[in-house]
Amino acid sequence: MDYYVAVLSIIGMHILLGLSVYVVAITGQLSFGQQGFYAIGAYLAGIGTALWGIHLLPAVLLGMTAAGVMGFLVGFPALRVKGLYLGVATFGFGEIVRLVFLNVRYTKTIGGKLVGPNGAEGFRHVSYIYDRGFTQAQYLAVIYTAVIIVAGFVYFLERSKLGARFRAVEEDEVAAAMAGINVTAVKVFAFTLGGFVAGLGGALFVHYSTYIDHQMVTLPLAVSSVIYPMLGGLGSFWGAILGAALLIFLTEGLRFLQEFRLVVYGALIILTMLFRPRGIIDEAMVLRVRAFLRRQVAPSA
Amino acid sequence: MTETLLDIVQQLMNGIMYGAFYALVGIGFTLFFGVMKKFNLAYGSTIMAGIYLGLIPLNLWKQPMWVVFVTCVAGAVVVGFVVEFACFRYLRKGHELAPMMTTIGMLILIEDAVVIATHAAPFEYPNIFGDESFELGPFLIRPDYLAILIAGVVFVVLLYLLVNRTTFGRAMRAVAENPAVSQLLGVSVTRTNTLTFALTSALGGATGYLVAMTFGALQPGIATWMTIKGLVVIVIGGLGSIPGAIFAGLLLGVVEFQALWFLGISYRDIFAFLLLFAFLVLRPSGLMGKAA
């Protein structure tokens, strides 16, 4: 039971990462730097509860906000580049964040334990939820509350005028600009939003694992957070959720393959892209599902 | 004061010699992009797999180092063809991000396959130049670094001749300029693409052999490291530009070595990425790239 709770918790936090890539990706920008926002959220929320002794909620909000502000700041230089350039630039941002946390020391001794970000040693003893007697299952509920709020927000975003603007910018920037859409604002807003969501994921993660260090936010995390929406599909936010759930269940479920898991993982990505270049839930599928649902609602029409 | 100056010059020399390696990896990426207009993120793992294959004749049959070198090159070419077949040949057209994702999948796959085959144990890579530095006036020069620089110059000259003086080179430039028109004029685009794959992979295998030697030990993580360095170089140098990749590689080498010497290892990488950011903000098309 505990095992399934743990797997579901990890899926929840990775869904947030996938959604943070997704909201940026639907403006046509692929970010390999969301793990940087994740790290900012994790470190700041951890500092909040473990060092300053504040409540979990404001600490998580603090981490989120810091990551969101950083997303806003990254959004501007990111405007100048596209495609692979943007991928490399955002990854460079993620690495700078990682290397900064590798060098930051800010510790206090609390209850005989050295707490706080301690350079290469990482940030240990973020034990807020366990000190206050949360069970893993209760914290799972906290994580999924956050996931539902974010997913609900993205759901309404996609159906709003703003969501249409996001898609228009992805489709054709020049045409979008000529139609009166402020491309700069849309792209920067998407990055800010992505920063918030990834920061939330990180803030929840550090309290779940009680520990984070710079090695947890390297290229593999960047790659998997991009793979979730790409494999799950860019047609709808369900794609990011499906991608995260599918890939984590798969890596857990394929334990009997042992070391061959990553080979299967890599092959799965290649095969999905060969057959469905926009992921499993692509735009065509979204349209088909909508048409199907409409028929169900009004069968006589 | 003179001490500091000597240090600066010493690190400048190291940086240029080592930067030659970054330049070579960057050239591989940039040639590939120039011709195919697609990104091959599995290039680093192609090189890595090639140099691992090069260890087979050494460890199993005690072959001399030139056999190892040839096996590295041939191995990289074979793996390059596998990448082309799995990640590019059957990919639908018009999806810019799809080749990036398939090659990332390939990167993960190859790296894990090598981890399985070697049980994740690092392998020793014999350095044919020994580890004795020789003195040049007040400066120390590592022979293996110097070998990278010399090899870099030789490879670049060969590449220049190949691109500018041969039929294949002309076909390559034609396809890079306009694939549809080249096809109409009787240049086989498929054949040119395949040969470009072979060429970049062979270049990668040769470069990888030298790098593995300077490291002295080989582990699968080298693939990711080379991919990141190569991407940084092509972004700084400008996509598709060989001179850009050369200058950017040397620049990155020099900046890294100065930062390593004066500030320490964790600042080296920060400076590398800050350099990248500076270029993206101030000159997004790169040193030699066409204006975006």
On whether the CB atoms of residues B87 and A244 are closer than 8 A, the answer is no
Q: What is the pLDDT of residue A200?
A: 95
Span A2-297: which CATH code?
1.10.3470
Q: What is the pLDDT of residue B262?
A: 79
Q: How many CB atoms lie within 10 A of CB A230?
A: 29
Domain ranges of chain B: 2-282
CB contact under 8 A, B228 and A80: no
On whether the CB atoms of residues A37 and A228 are closer than 8 A, the answer is no
- Considering only CA atoms, which of A132, A141, A105 is closest in space to residue A120? A105
CB contact under 8 A, A102 and B266: yes
DSSP 8-state secondary structure symbol assigned to residue A255 = G
Q: What is the pLDDT of residues A22-59, one digit of tens each?
A: 999 989 888 999 999 999 999 999 999 888 888 889 99
Question: From CA A47, how far away is CA A52, in angstroms rounded?
Answer: 7
Percent of chain A with pLDDT over 90: 36
Rounded to the nearest angstrom, the minimum Cα separation between B183 and chain A is: 25
In degrees rounded to 5, what are phi and psi of residue A108?
A: -135, 155
Q: In chain B, which residues have their Cβ closer than 8 Å to the Cβ of A262?
A: 108-109, 111-112, 115
Q: How many CB atoms lie within 10 A of CB A32?
A: 26
- Considering only CA atoms, which of A165, A196, A173 is closest in space to residue A72? A196
Question: Which of B97, B232, B239, B266 to probe by mutation at the A interface, max A CB count within 10 Å?
Answer: B97
SS3 assignment, position A114: strand
Q: Is the pLDDT of residue A144 over 80?
A: yes
B2-282 has which fold?
Answer: ABC transporter involved in vitamin B12 uptake, BtuC (1.10.3470)
**Computed over its alpha carbons, how large is the radius of gyration of chain B?**
19
What mean pLDDT do residues A196-207 have?
94
CB contact under 8 A, B91 and A273: yes
CB contact under 8 A, A266 and B107: yes
Q: What is the pLDDT of residue A39?
A: 94
Q: In chain B, which residues have their Cβ closer than 8 Å to the Cβ of A95?
A: 269, 273
What's the Cα-to-Cα distance from B151 to each of A105, B17, B18, B31, rounded to whole Å?
A: 43, 10, 11, 18
Of A29-33, A105-109, A184-188, give the lowest mean pLDDT range: A105-109
Domain ranges of chain A: 2-297
The answer to whether residue A284 neighbours chain B at the CB level (below 8 Å) is no
SS3 assignment, position A47: helix
What's the Cα-to-Cα distance from B203 to each of A90, A94, B149, B155, rounded to whole Å?
A: 28, 30, 14, 8
pTM of the model: 0.87
All residue ranges of chain B with pLDDT < 70 are: 1, 130-131, 289-292
Q: In chain A, which residues have their Cβ closer than 8 Å to the Cβ of B45?
A: none
